[in-house]
Structure 1
Amino acid sequence: MRAKFVLALSILSSGLSSLSPLYGVTPPPASNAGIIDKEIQDQYEVNIFSPTKDIPVLDVDIPFQKFDLPEGISVQINTFIFQGNTIFSDQQLQNIAADYVGKDLKSSDVKEICYRIQKLYAEHGYILSRAYTPVQEIAGGTLTIEVIEGVLGSIEVEGNRYYSTKFIKKYFSSQIGDVVDYNRLLRSLMLINEHMDLNVGAIFKKGKNKGEADLIIVAKDKLPLHIATDYNTYGSYLTTKGRAGLRVDGGNIALGGDKLSLMEVMGFPFDHLDFSNAIYSVPLTANGLRMDLSYLYSGFKVNTLNALHLKGSSNIAGIRFYQAMHRTRRLSTDVGIGFDYKDLLNQQMSKTFSYDKLRVLTFSGRLDYADSYKGRLISDFNLFIGIPNFLGGLSAVDHLCSRKGAGGRFFIANLDVRRLQQLPWDCLLVFSATAQGTLNKIPIAQQIYIGGIDNVRGYPLATALGDNGYYGTLELRAPIPYVANYTLPFSKTRKWKDLFQFVFFTDTGAIFLNGHVQKEQAPSFITSAGLGFRITNLWRFDISYDSGFALTKDHKSSDSIQYLRVALRIL
């Protein structure tokens, strides 16, 4: 799930605004570490979405039971007797055979009845269930149909190297002895495939005992370790425009299926930005319950207004629990609950300027839906609740807060939506939007910002902040015409469309403030357009370039802003 932590420490905008007559400049909101934290954390999330969902391979290799009456022979059947059925009652099966009672039946008619019974089972996910007529002497017009519902017998695991057999088996072991349910099995397959560098499929073999099927789990796993580094120009001139980052992800470390992610981002010069983040994730059950523990530290120094020695630091610890709800071929949903302990300190000339001590409870939900139109919709909802006077936190309205009249009590609803749509000629249309709403006047760190990469390109990072607001982007990605499906000269399998894409986009956003806004920004609306390109995995390098052109005068700093990122996949 896209865990968008709203982290931060902040410099009081109104306080800085009061200094503008002296220095002739009003620093924009991007000088707040809270905004820097949010932007950096989103940038280093590794959630790469495809317009289609990967469905685990599930195959059946069990011989069918067959029954044949001699050719040209028909028998009148007045009564049907069913044996072996536990999922559906005798009456439900009698309803299927009702049209054939009292009629002369041929072999094809008997097969049709068995087929209809199997179809009923299959429609409810029982894909291994079979109906057949055992060897019998038909007397008095009575026909016995036996149902083998397909019970899961044993489980074997093949092909695994880095994930243990015990760990993989536990996702399926609770189903041993139960009738095989496709939906239940698919859920288990999809849950285990969410682990790092693990891909699992399944094949059924005929079991040792009558009515049993053995499950063969075929695993393909790689060393769950990834290291990547990058340089980008996504920052702010107030702290540092250029930034270098390192991310390390390691899986299956101490507990089965756990994951540790470490991130470090430095600015230039180094003492102007230091961002460190650690997230440890561990599955608690095989049914999709997961716990995340996180800690974030960041420190910054403002380049402008040097005489004031503006600087700050963030210390944020968090815990979250996520439960997978639906896992089907098209739909996945999750719910979550979390708590963040945030201490966000801002200083001016070595004296405390503001100190946001926020204690935030979060309720979250995610929906991931792949439709039949070659598209995919991913939506995240978060409800943030500020708890005042808890664990040393701010009061409901506190003089230490980064905004006058705000404090530790707030209710904020946040919605993220992304739509990926495949188009003809190997093109991809990407729509994304984020909206936030609250009735409260909230600390700067909890506000929504507009401007910057993955937001409204062409405007400075966090050029405006609001309690309420939205931003969205519509992006067309297209390969090089005519050569898109040609194989690359240095690869036997990759094509030009896998390496290079043009990008054309338009972005828009707006923010609104609650409470008295005389000393704060008025509502702001900005729109931009631009173009760029993406290069993917060129000898382990990923390169992205965007040029955004501001289309509205408000907050416009230049005709265009360039965004460059070069990343290297070390491992």
Structure 2
Amino acid sequence: MRTTTMRLALATGVALTGPALSWAQSSPNQGNPIDTLPKVDTSRPPQQKIQVEVQRPNPALENLLATHLTPTKFQIEGVKTLPFPEVAAHFAPLAGHDITVAQLLQAANDVTKLYADRGFPLSFAFVPAQTFEGGVVRVTVVEGYVARMRIEGTPGPLEGRLREISQRLMNEKPLRRETFERVTGVLALQPGVQITATVQPPTTTDGASELVLNVKRQPYTIGTGVEYRSPGVRAIITGTLNSVTPLGEQITVSTLQPRGSDHETFYSATWAQPIGADGLLAKLTWSHYRGMPENLPLEQLGYQSRYLTDTQRLGLSLSYPVLLSNSRNLTVTGTFYGNDDKQRYTPQNPGFAQTELDAKVRVAGAEALYTEVKPGETRRASLGIYQGINSLGAGKSVNNNVDLSFLRTRITASEAHDLPLGFGVVVSGAAQYSGAVLPSSEQISFGGRFFGLAYPAGEVAGDRGWGASIELNRAFQVSMDYLKTLQPYVLYDTAKVYSNAGTLVHDQLGSIALGVRFSDRKYYTLDLAIARPVGDKPINSSSRSLRFNAAYTYQFN
């Protein structure tokens, strides 16, 4: 948030009443200042735990594994979902042969695996206690389902909603893994609760089992994200109310402290409201940012180096998890928002009038977010397409040549892999494309933690651009009360931006960094790093000197 491009559409022959600003097409640029603010993030691991217990009866037969018998006939009971021949095929080869009880039980285990592979986690086969008189062997298949639900702990006002969500499990016989993982995934999305879901094994041959939800409610949370990046410290303080009513709503408010040398103020509020029992979520957001960032090149044009930037945003979104399982999640979102942006520049000569650029943007967008978590690897990718609408209050000042009917596309991706000896590697990237001259709130910006660690956040921005990084780290486990993990890392990042209004003189970032992360895996994370610029010089600096960064997040409860 250090630089800006002023995009002016000055008519030929108009007399200027202040310093000329036609340098716009060859100057550095900033994006949305809200993107540069510190982040509040919890260091806790996922709070929802899902456990499925399937225990086959343990009859006395298992104590007679070496006993021999010669089956002449198999009576298989309870098969309703899978084709009967597929189940019977596991026992047919044993007929007429001298076998042991162990072989018979293994065939039953194979049927259990068949059910599991077809997506039925509570279903199994077992051989009940019997005499095998006349060579007749009875096999029982139990197709398990959830018949009862019990809630323990402190669900508070959410108990009715948790029961409504879980009802889908009791409507399916037998229970499918896909349904179980989706329902427990929706339970995990409910705000302000930690849930451990356990399905007890069926105790009768009809397959009836019990779902137990152990719930711990957190009616409110308070967190902070603090960053030190020269020249000062900035902190976002966030408070959240969770599920005060049975509707399951979540209300979040945030503010920025202290104001610092850039005289920043920031306030935001979000209302998130679950709709129905299948993960649909409506969200209403509002934010207001105001600051006086510094841009030294302005002095060369006769303006004061500090200028006013003011951004207000109001947005509504509706999201739905199309895919929701233990390992994969695909969420699609439709959004509409309005952003009113103002920038004011003051001439060094008090005899000249101030120059102000205004843009009121109205945008409809569609987004998709995909995450995949497997042992030793994590993938994350997002795609967003946004269309500007030149109506519904949209507008701009006459000296601003931005396109209000723009179309822009943004993608992000990251992949993390565990390596031998405790090492890990993380590769990340982001890109945006637009053929229009975008308002500053819609540009892509780089710097700070977003592909520019050796530069201030928001160092450069453009209508289109890309960024990439690669990190090699090594995790150490620590057995201390206030420190559980220690992770040194080395990182390289690079980014480049482009302007559709002309050529930028400051458009390439590059950093080499060495850092270390600390965490107790419960309340806090601390990230310390030293980075050196290897791209363009920082806009407000005359050298590529080392830059120290510190980021700290803490969840008070």
Q: TM-score, normalised by structure 1?
A: 0.79
Cα distance per residue 1:300-339 (max 9 Å; x no partner): 2345667698424222111112212333333222222111
- Going from structure 1 to structure 2, the CA distance change for 1:53 and 1:444 (only over 3 Å counts) comes to same
Q: What secondary structure is seen at the aligned counterpart in 2 of 1:233?
A: strand
Separation in 1, partners of 2:535, 2:131? 87
Does structure 1 residue 189 correspond to structure 2 residue 184?
A: yes
Residue 118 of structure 1 corresponds to: 112
Residue 255 of structure 2 corresponds to: 264
| Structure 1 unmatched runs, 5+ | 1-7
Separation in 1, partners of 2:114, 2:381? 34
Separation in 2, partners of 1:270, 1:174? 55
Residue 380 of structure 1 corresponds to: 382
Separation in 1, partners of 2:291, 2:132? 87
Q: Is the Cα contact below 8 Å between 1:338 and 1:361 reproduced in 2?
A: yes
Q: How does 1:22-101 map to 2 (within 5 A)?
A: 28-30=28-30, 34-40=31-37, 43-46=38-41, 56-60=50-54, 63-64=57-58, 71-77=67-73, 82-97=76-91, 99=93
Separation in 1, partners of 2:145, 2:236? 52
Does structure 1 residue 451 correspond to structure 2 residue 442?
A: no
Cα distance per residue 1:121-147 (max 9 Å; x no partner): 121222222335679999999876543
Q: Is the Cα contact below 8 Å between 2:39 and 2:225 reproduced in 1?
A: no
Cα distance per residue 1:267-300 (max 9 Å; x no partner): 5358821111112222223322222211111122
CA RMSD of aligned residues (A): 4.1
Shift of 1:81: 6.1
Q: Is the Cα contact below 8 Å between 1:163 and 1:221 reproduced in 2?
A: no
Does structure 1 residue 509 correspond to structure 2 residue 492?
A: no
- Report which stretch shifted further, 244-253 or 226-235: 226-235
Separation in 1, partners of 2:478, 2:393? 62
Residue 313 of structure 2 corresponds to: 316
- Going from structure 1 to structure 2, the CA distance change for 1:318 and 1:13 (only over 3 Å counts) comes to same
- Going from structure 1 to structure 2, the CA distance change for 1:269 and 1:526 (only over 3 Å counts) comes to closer
- Going from structure 1 to structure 2, the CA distance change for 1:426 and 1:393 (only over 3 Å counts) comes to same
Which letter maps to 2:149?
I
State the identity %.
16
Shift of 1:356: 1.9
Separation in 1, partners of 2:534, 2:125? 68
Does structure 1 residue 170 correspond to structure 2 residue 173?
A: no
Residue 464 of structure 2 corresponds to: 468
Q: How does 1:144-155 map to 2 (within 5 A)?
A: 145-155=139-149
Separation in 2, partners of 1:552, 1:105? 74
- Going from structure 1 to structure 2, the CA distance change for 1:81 and 1:231 (only over 3 Å counts) comes to closer
Residue 277 of structure 2 corresponds to: 286
Match of 1:547 among 511, 514, 530: 530
Shift of 1:446: 1.2
Separation in 2, partners of 1:309, 1:206? 70
- Going from structure 1 to structure 2, the CA distance change for 1:101 and 1:53 (only over 3 Å counts) comes to farther
Match of 1:356 among 347, 354, 359: 359
Residue 509 of structure 2 corresponds to: 526
Which letter maps to 1:337?
G
Cα distance per residue 1:173-224 (max 9 Å; x no partner): 22215212233223322332344441313031545x6413332424252524
Shift of 1:14: 4.0
Q: Is the Cα contact below 8 Å between 2:42 and 2:524 reproduced in 1?
A: no
Q: Is the Cα contact below 8 Å between 2:40 and 2:223 reproduced in 1?
A: no
Count of residues in Structure 1 that have an aligned counterpart in Structure 2: 530
Shift of 1:531: 2.1
Separation in 1, partners of 2:206, 2:443? 60
Residue 487 of structure 1 corresponds to: 479
Which letter maps to 1:344?
D
Shift of 1:445: 2.0
- Going from structure 1 to structure 2, the CA distance change for 1:309 and 1:39 (only over 3 Å counts) comes to closer
- Going from structure 1 to structure 2, the CA distance change for 1:92 and 1:565 (only over 3 Å counts) comes to closer
Residue 13 of structure 2 corresponds to: none
Shift of 1:456: 0.8
Separation in 2, partners of 1:449, 1:153? 53
Separation in 2, partners of 1:171, 1:454? 38
- Going from structure 1 to structure 2, the CA distance change for 1:536 and 1:206 (only over 3 Å counts) comes to closer
Q: Is the Cα contact below 8 Å between 1:442 and 1:467 reproduced in 2?
A: yes
Separation in 1, partners of 2:522, 2:277? 37
Separation in 2, partners of 1:449, 1:435? 10
Which letter maps to 1:247?
T
- Going from structure 1 to structure 2, the CA distance change for 1:172 and 1:268 (only over 3 Å counts) comes to closer
Shift of 1:549: 0.9
Which letter maps to 2:311?
S
Which letter maps to 2:531?
G
Separation in 2, partners of 1:309, 1:138? 92
